[in-house]
Structure 1
Amino acid sequence: MSVSATDTPAAQATLRTTTGREAARWVAAHCREVPWLTATAILTTVAGAALQVLPLLLLGRVVDAVVAGGPRSVLVTTGVWMAAAALLGAAATALSTYLVGRLGADLLARLREGAVRAVLAMPSARIEQVGRGDVLSRVGDDVAVLSRGIRTAVPTVFSAGVLVVIATLGMFGLDWRLGLAGAGALPAYAFALRWYLPRSAPLYKQQRAVQADRAQALISGLNGIDTVRAYRLEGAVREKVTTESWRVRELGIEVFRLFGRFVGRENRAEFIGLVLIIVVGYALLEADAATLGEVSAAPLLFHRLFTPLGSIMFTFDEAQKSGASLTRLVGVLGEDAEDRLVGTPADAPAADAPYPVAVKGLTFSYPGTEQPVLQDVDLAIPAGGSLALVGATGAGKSTLAALIAGIGTPQAGSVRIGGTDLAGLDEAGARALVSILTQETHVFSGPLADDLRLAAPQATDAELADALRTVGADGWVDALPAGLHTPVGEGGERLDVTKVAQIALARLLLARSPVVVLDESTAEAGSEGAAELERAVLAACAGRTTLFVAHRLTQAMAADRIAVLDAGRVVEHGTHKELVALGGRYAQLWRAWREGSQDTAWARPTRSRAGDPRTPKGR
């Protein structure tokens, strides 16, 4: 089910975003589930950092040996130890990077699976409320950002942070006064972070949210491209996408500018620390309170901090993005399930029996908006009859279709299937009465039979074959290497859009619900196999009460009656001929549709062909 961008409010609710503390608790809890991997990653990181610092400490010993006139063998021995430490340190660092990455990948896999599971378990109304852009950006973009961060930023920041601690302890090991001098830079670092973090974290969260809004604008415009072209709304959709894209751009510039100021503060902190160490070291030498080797090693140790600190700074941007994505993904796991009454009607209709639909006084508003999307809508579809909903984009067609399918709860009025009010059912109960089919059809990886049994788990192979035959898919299915048991989808047979639509229609048949709602379900009718697809739709809906959301007005002509929505109200109702003769809103839409179809056909001549149901009469 897809609600157009203009059907949804400008300021939508979004999925939950958790706090950084809660996200950290989630990570810590999952690290405890793999204690050996976690402990080994930490130990190898500490060992690698210590081995990187050891050569600098040994270099101080070399200086003192030279000053004291020690034997040359000290240089050889110390050189061997320094080389061994460098090699072992490199090996330990590489191992720790691998282990941290493996630990992160394991956590990401659990998080990704949990987030997808949580999204699939959400009520459809919740998905419609927040918008698919927010949902897709979390299970898509946020997962990608976090995956990139786990491969690069997280191991770098963790190992660099450990190295900073070890190098600081090494300075204290040389002389506590040198250690204090180096630590004198810490307040400057702390002030820089204290200035940066409160400003950057909200910006990154806002950036992810704005990217979700842009995704929603793009998806809505692309899904309804034929409607947009027919009703000449290209400018409005383009303006919305442009506006959202500029918001993403402006936030990106602001984030980069803020990070540049943070780098400047970090450089000042390094300057302060290095000056303090040199001044204190010189004073200690003058007072004969420290050796030349110790004083020489201290600046080198502090300078050794520059590389890890620089790595932290230059990857902190990616780490912040990863942290923002982590809070959004963990937030999805905490989404509360919608509380609804559970149960199916006691007088559930027979499998193939048609059932009337009655909509009375239906009013619906999205959360956070005052203007209703639907206002006092009354509709009736007789048992076995069909009704087409038409209207300009934003009229409320998809929203009304969703409510009739049991997705969402109106603020006033009711939707009754026979004698059953959908408000008293959970989604399983609603699906027993109503099936909804949109253009967003999917083929899941695995045998074709398993894909079809998503709608009817107990269906036999014979029943699957009968459903495929009804929608005209038996020919190409029989030609598959293993027939019904041929793997399809990712890693299997690649199916074109017409075949995918036929599979969706076969699922619709297998579900056996007495009422069906089709929202832009034949969006690919202009492609190869258009006529077969239209016939498959009619075959799948035969004998069932049907609601069409007619994004192409030629679909409306096939329905028994047509209801015209305008600004959330039913303004006209009748047959196609009656409404055209009336000369009202439907007649205007029909003229606009014919002109839009002609323009589209001239722009894309390969999609207008004999038998294409979108080709206007008289062409």
Structure 2
Amino acid sequence: MPHLAPPAPTTPATGDDAEPKPPPQLRRILRLFTPYRGRLALVGLLVGASSLVAVASPFLLREIIDVALPERRTGLLTALALGMVAATLVSSVFGVLQTLISTTVGQRVMHDLRTGVYGKLQQMPLAFFTRTRTGEVQSRIAGDIGGMQATVTSTATSLVSNLTAVTATLVAMVALDWRLTLVSVALLPFFVWIARRVGRERKRITARRQGQMAGMAAMVTESLSVSGILLGRTMGRAETLTERFSAESEKLVALEVRASMAGRWRMATIGMIMGAIPPLLYWSAGALAQLGGNPPSIGTLVAFVGLQQGLLRPATSLLSTGVDIQASLALFQRVFEYLDLPVDITERPKPVTLERPRGEVAFEHVTFRYDPAARPTLDDVDLTVPAGSSLAVVGATGAGKSTLGYLVPRLYDVTGGRVTLDGVDVRDLSFASLASTVGVVSQETYLLHASIAENLRFAKPDATQGELEEAARAAQIHDHIAALPDGYATVVGERGYRFSGGEKQRLALARTILRDPPVLVLDEATSALDTRTEHAVQRAIDALAAGRTVITIAHRLSTVRDADQIVLLDGGRVLERGTHEQLLALDGRYAALVARETTPGGTAPGGTAPGEAASGGAAARRDGPSVELTP
């Protein structure tokens, strides 16, 4: 399949001067934590208890300085000192428990998000994946959700913890001396304003950074796959691809530096100002004494400064947490965009299950458009394929042959008319029933990077070794597998590139045989093979087709002569139909195509010269099929 251009970015590009858009609904983010509200309540209790214990120490310190030491009360001094040690110990234990619970909850939320996005993508129609680069999809699942890890595992807890600590500390400061409290908090509104500006800036940069990472992931997926490596080396573009990757990486470096440094000086200013407040407090206490007021005691002043210094850490952390949350909203927005994708192909609330499917397929005045504004790919197609019979669909490239076949297993849904199995609209069938009834073998065989046995069991997980071997024999591939050093445990390599095109096709056929579907759709299953390999695969197909309803999308007319019914599509419409002999006698377009294919130098109906179609050398070599990925 040729490389398709990526879709327009789903995240709007925003420059530094662009007005920030409202963040995703915070309620939706909070709903992610709803299943774990019991554990979160426990975290809240631990946070509150830890904060209360922490602010007790300054009061104990005041009593030590103002009472125990001046009055030389050793017993009181000992009790107060032990109280301060106990407060530190209890606060530390609570902190460890809080971290354990909050991290567990955060990881569960991450799991829910990853599973939710993956499950949603499994429901998307085939058209979505023809428009979207694989690297972009991987980036959403791994990069964006991974980037949210700090937010969902620690940021939320840090926010609650620091907010509680700040609140408890402010209450304690007011209890000690309300006048010094006013001096300490006078600049807090200014700090909050700075933090909000920094947060908005980091959010814009984060959105651009994630988009850049998605682009690089797509480039890696394309250029470092087996097909990409073959293409790069045979075209002499390896150095060019490396330079392109280096240039994209340079852009990411710049964005990472900007993301890291955004607002650093402003946040550092906040730290410096808050660090200068203790001298201001000492000066204020002295000014109160000079003005004849009621200055705080030495113990109160020392305790207050201790509280104020204790306020510095959670307050600064709280401001930084707010910045991180604003930045992470860009990641949440990208993930929510995937979760909000409309699902075009859905299962009925009460779907039909075919208990004993016979395999009759009917296309009733079927119309299909990929684009509502474009001309129909299929136009008023009306066909019936009786159970156990064979239909061959031929025509030029772009006539709608593959689309017709893909409507049967509901890889696409019709835009007009209907497709039925045993008289039931395929849209009314359950997904499980449809998958067990219709099997598809396409030209582009896909094998997982796993053993032969695992690839075969993908169709039937509980298949025994005997069933695997029986299916492989039927597909004319068992002897080859048995001759391998590891037999059925042989790892096929990425996309099966350790095997030739014909061997991969026969493995795919064996996988389909294990499923034993009554309806079989063959989408140009032998068109990329050389003549000798094609004959071997065709024998396997014949064995598989016995007793089934077979719809063959034909590239070479020589493979469809024995079909019970042949249909020639032209511009999405049925132009001719009949048996091979009937269509030859009609002396129309089909007869012309047959004559052209059998004439030296002629062109096959798919637009490929017979010599080219038959050669298939690159496709049949063990090194793998020819590559169509563009750099």
Q: TM-score, normalised by structure 1?
A: 0.66
Aligned-pair Cα RMSD in Å: 6.2
8 Å contact 2:47–2:164 — kept in the other structure? yes
After superposing the two structures, state which structure 1 stretch, 120-129 or 180-189, moved more: 120-129
CA distance in 2, matches of 1:210, 1:593: 43
CA distance in 1, matches of 2:557, 2:228: 17
CA distance in 1, matches of 2:297, 2:73: 18
8 Å contact 1:63–1:292 — kept in the other structure? yes
CA distance in 2, matches of 1:213, 1:203: 15
What letter corresponds to residue 7 of structure 2 in structure 1?
A
Please state whether the residue corresponding to 2:521 is helix, strand or coil.
Answer: strand
- Could you tell me which residue of structure 2 aligns to residue 45 of structure 1? 47
8 Å contact 2:199–2:324 — kept in the other structure? no
After superposing the two structures, state which structure 1 stretch, 40-49 or 193-202, moved more: 193-202
What letter corresponds to residue 300 of structure 1 in structure 2?
G
What letter corresponds to residue 53 of structure 2 in structure 1?
L
- Could you tell me which residue of structure 2 aligns to residue 287 of structure 1? 288
- Could you tell me which residue of structure 2 aligns to residue 553 of structure 1? none
Kindly provide the CA deviation profile for residues 230-251 of structure 1, in whole angstroms up to 9, marking residues without a partner as x.
99778699769948x8667636
For residue 176 of structure 1, report the CA deviation from its aligned partner.
1.7
Please state whether the residue corresponding to 1:516 is helix, strand or coil.
Answer: strand
- Could you tell me which residue of structure 1 aligns to residue 254 of structure 2? 253
Please state whether the residue corresponding to 2:32 is helix, strand or coil.
Answer: helix
Return closer, same or farther for 1:188/1:389 CA change in 2, 3 Å cut-off: farther
Return closer, same or farther for 1:80/1:338 CA change in 2, 3 Å cut-off: same
For residue 531 of structure 1, report the CA deviation from its aligned partner.
11
- Could you tell me which residue of structure 2 aligns to residue 10 of structure 1? 7
Correspondence 1:406 to 2:410: yes
Q: Which has the larger radius of gyration?
A: 2
Return closer, same or farther for 1:577/1:522 CA change in 2, 3 Å cut-off: closer
- Could you tell me which residue of structure 1 aligns to residue 583 of structure 2? none
What letter corresponds to residue 512 of structure 1 in structure 2?
P
- Could you tell me which residue of structure 1 aligns to residue 304 of structure 2? 298
CA distance in 1, matches of 2:324, 2:362: 56
Structure with the bigger RCO (C-alpha within 8 Å, sep 6+) is 1
Please state whether the residue corresponding to 1:581 is helix, strand or coil.
Answer: coil
For residue 195 of structure 1, report the CA deviation from its aligned partner.
0.8
8 Å contact 2:420–2:426 — kept in the other structure? yes
Matches within 5 A, 1:563-578: 574=593, 577=597
Gaps of 5+ in 2: 12-21, 290-294, 562-566, 574-588
For residue 112 of structure 1, report the CA deviation from its aligned partner.
3.8
- Could you tell me which residue of structure 1 aligns to residue 227 of structure 2? 225
Please state whether the residue corresponding to 2:191 is helix, strand or coil.
Answer: helix
- Could you tell me which residue of structure 1 aligns to residue 601 of structure 2? 581
CA distance in 2, matches of 1:263, 1:344: 61
Kindly provide the CA deviation profile for residues 504-544 of structure 1, in whole angstroms up to 9, marking residues without a partner as x.
54442325253424589999x99xx9999897567546776
CA distance in 2, matches of 1:516, 1:279: 82
What letter corresponds to residue 35 of structure 2 in structure 1?
H
What letter corresponds to residue 303 of structure 1 in structure 2?
Q
- Could you tell me which residue of structure 2 aligns to residue 338 of structure 1? 344
For residue 164 of structure 1, report the CA deviation from its aligned partner.
3.4
Return closer, same or farther for 1:175/1:341 CA change in 2, 3 Å cut-off: closer
- Could you tell me which residue of structure 2 aligns to residue 350 of structure 1? 358
- Could you tell me which residue of structure 1 aligns to residue 98 of structure 2? 96
Return closer, same or farther for 1:220/1:186 CA change in 2, 3 Å cut-off: same
What letter corresponds to residue 42 of structure 1 in structure 2?
G
What letter corresponds to residue 521 of structure 2 in structure 1?
V
What letter corresponds to residue 184 of structure 1 in structure 2?
A
CA distance in 2, matches of 1:416, 1:152: 53
For residue 299 of structure 1, report the CA deviation from its aligned partner.
3.5
For residue 341 of structure 1, report the CA deviation from its aligned partner.
8.7
Please state whether the residue corresponding to 1:173 is helix, strand or coil.
Answer: helix
For residue 182 of structure 1, report the CA deviation from its aligned partner.
2.4
Matches within 5 A, 1:405-424: 406-409=410-413
Equivalent residue for 1:197, pick from 193, 196, 199 = 199
What letter corresponds to residue 266 of structure 2 in structure 1?
R
Identity, % of aligned positions: 19
CA distance in 1, matches of 2:382, 2:223: 28
Kindly provide the CA deviation profile for residues 401-427 of structure 1, in whole angstroms up to 9, marking residues without a partner as x.
756753235778998999999789886
Gaps of 5+ in 1: 551-555, 602-606
8 Å contact 1:356–1:545 — kept in the other structure? no
Name the count of aligned residue pairs. 567
- Could you tell me which residue of structure 1 aligns to residue 579 of structure 2? none
Return closer, same or farther for 1:372/1:597 CA change in 2, 3 Å cut-off: farther
Correspondence 1:171 to 2:183: no
Kindly provide the CA deviation profile for residues 66-89 of structure 1, in whole angstroms up to 9, marking residues without a partner as x.
884654555544332222222221
After superposing the two structures, state which structure 1 stretch, 126-135 or 159-168, moved more: 126-135
What letter corresponds to residue 195 of structure 1 in structure 2?
R
Equivalent residue for 2:30, pick from 14, 17, 25 = 25
Correspondence 1:107 to 2:104: no
What letter corresponds to residue 440 of structure 2 in structure 1?
I
For residue 63 of structure 1, report the CA deviation from its aligned partner.
3.8
